[in-house]
Amino acid sequence: MKAYIQANQDRFIAELLDLLRIPSVSTDEKFAPDVKRAAEFVKDKLVAAGVDFAEVCPTPGHPIVYAEKIIDKNLPTVLMYGHYDVQPADPYELWTSPPFEPVIKKTILHPDGAIYARGACDDKGQIYMHIKALEAMLQTNSLPCNIKFMIEGEEECGSSNLEPFIKANKERLKADVILISDTGIIANDCPSIESGLRGLAYLEVEITGPNRDLHSGVYGGGVANPINTLCEMIASLKDENGMITIPHFYDKVQNLSLEERAELAKAPFVLEDYKKDLDIEEVSGEVGYTTNERVSIRPTLDVNGIWGGYTGKGAKTVLPSKAAAKISMRLVPDQEPEEIAELFQKHFESIAPKSVKVVVTPHHGGYPVVTPINSVGFMAASAAFEEVWGKKPIPTRGGGSIPIVALFEKELGLKSVLMGFGLDSDAIHSPNEHYGVFNFLKGIETIPAFYRHYAKMMK
Ligand code: BES
Ligand code: MN
Ligand code: MN
């Protein structure tokens, strides 16, 4: 396996760079033809790797690529899930090389080089490992189970067409476990596996004051300024301990036992390095929890964007009519996104002063998930890391969200193994996203090890 990967690694990387050149931004309609092109590319590469069957399934939105390699109906089946769509690359001017013209650069964390491009880590680089792992297993006659691939093009915009696809294809998607590489590890010398993901509730709020923009001298001081009001309302959503003030927000939050927290605290974490990396003097968050806990097992509320009034060059003295913001809440078991969105909406409307009108619009959300560390899938992933990386991986809880994972559980009755290989420092969703060549190649080696251990443990 290792020899096959080594002999072909330059081609593997070159093919990934071709995929990264396709700007498959799912949230922006103008890229729809590119998204389709990326789907075709993924399908073609699955066929070239040796699947029995592959197709690009159209949806009302972006297509889903489905493929399968069935070697023996009596062997276990793994359903691989990933996404070929990417986040917008904005702001372009902060990229040191263009986001869709991948280049390999050496860095301190990536002495073997890292591939710089939008989607390099999230998630094109990681789905491509699976396609090349299949190729390597077939070429070395070592595929030990059946594999199904479901690679979608709408993960970054809510996976809304994947739900009907799953419901309509339950028989076809039958499997024993789901394998996903769309998360990360602690460090290249410290492998880890995420045993859970946070959920998400996302809303937009708009505050309207006077019926038009006003001269801030003629009216200023006498009329509520919607931007000021919005800021006050948002500021009131957290108290001095960093706790969210929305009534009943914490009602369903599962508090971890001291033992569970002690287990998670085993993950190495150096606060000084964390602050240095982000160039901040102090961290901040909920009192009584460590930084690692704040970003994984605790819920959050954050403004993702805020706008209103005059933001152009120079000074314009204006009292705006409107102000708006996008607000997200990361959720932990057993919080429910619809319920939290409703609690937010009710509360936000209730704290608005009479001087303004408020409109709250919920966006897509997602449920939190947990994969037990004593499940066969998790243990197989753990054994695969141990074999290939020479170290037992540490179980962690992830802070990000893959909303569709909870749906897999509900609709297909399957748990997901989150065997991701990215690093927090890979800048996913940010300018200069990158993915280590080491991580890419090591991932291609770890995936076949997972299949081998999984098939053996299922016997
Ligand atoms: N791959 C990420 C999620 C992720 C990143 C999980 C890092 C764990 C560690 C995924 O593509 C993503 O970006 N999810 C979105 C949710 C979606 C609804 C836009 C997120 O977490 O913001
Ligand atoms: Mn992703
Ligand atoms: Mn993402």
For residue 140, the domain's CATH number is 3.40.630.10
Helix (H) or strand (E) holding 164: helix 162-168
Pocket test for ligand 1, best of 180, 200, 401, 423 (most atoms within 8 A of CB): 401
Domain count, the chain: 2
Query: Which residues are CB-contacts of 346 (< 8 A; sequence separation ≥ 6)?
Result: none
Structure tokens at 1: 């396996």
Q: Verify that 329 and 379 share a domain, yes or no.
A: no
Query: Does one domain contain both 398 and 310?
Result: no
236 and 318 share a domain?
Answer: yes
What is the CA(182)–ligand 3 centre distance, in A?
A: 8
Instruction: Point out the ligand nearest to the CA of residue 422.
Output: 1
CB atoms within 10 A of CB 221: 9
Tokens of 106: 């050496």
Show the CA angle centred on residue 368, arms to residues 336 and 411, nearest 5°: 85
> Residue 445: inside a domain, yes or no?
yes
Other CB atoms within a 10 A radius of the CB of residue 211 amount to 7
Q: In the prediction, which pLDDT does 410 show?
A: 96
| pTM of this structure | 0.94
Domain boundary (366, 388, 411) is at: 366
pLDDT at 332 over 90: yes
Assign 209 a pLDDT band (cuts: 50, 70, 90). Answer: very high
Any domain includes 228: yes
Residues 222 and 309 reside in one and the same domain: yes
| pLDDT at residue 364, as a whole number | 84
Which alpha helices (H) appear in 23-96, and where do they start and end?
32-49
Phi then psi dihedrals of residue 83, to 5 deg = -135, 140
Q: What H or E segment, with its residue span, contains residue 231? A: helix 226-235
Q: Within a domain: residue 292?
A: no
Three-class SS state of 323: strand
Sheet with 357-362, side-by-side order of all strands: 302-308, 322-331, 199-208, 357-362
392 and 326 fall within a common domain: no
Q: Which residues are near ligand 2, the ion (C-beta closer than 5 Å)?
A: 122-123, 182
Q: Do residues 212 and 150 share a domain?
A: no
Per the structure, the complete domain to which residue 426 belongs is given by 2-197+368-457
Same domain, 212 and 173: no
Same domain, 57 and 142: yes
- Torsions phi, psi for 255 (to 5 deg): -85, 130
User: Which of 186, 195, 402, 407 is the pocket-test mutation for ligand 1 (most atoms within 8 Å of CB)?
Assistant: 402
Same domain, 179 and 210: no
Q: What does the block give as tokens for 233?
A: 């309302």
Closest ligand 1 atom to residue 182 Cα is: 1
Q: Is residue 346 part of a domain?
A: yes
Say yes or no: 175 and 193 in one domain.
yes
What b-and-e string marks burial along 160-187, b requiring 16 or more CB atoms within 10 Å of the CB?
Answer: ebbeebbeebeeebebbbbbbbbbbbbe
Which pLDDT score is estimated for 284? Answer: 97
- The model's pLDDT over 80-106, given as tens digits with 9 standing for 90+, comes to 999 999 999 999 999 999 999 999 999
pLDDT per position as a tens digit, 343-394: 999 999 999 999 999 999 999 899 999 999 999 999 999 999 999 999 999 9
One domain, residues 160 and 189? yes
> Is any atom of ligand 1 closer than 6 Å to the C-beta of 402?
yes
Chain-centroid distance of CA 83 in Å reads 10
Residue type, 215: H
- Number of Cβ atoms within 10 Å of the Cβ of 29: 9
CB 152 within 8 A of CB 173: no
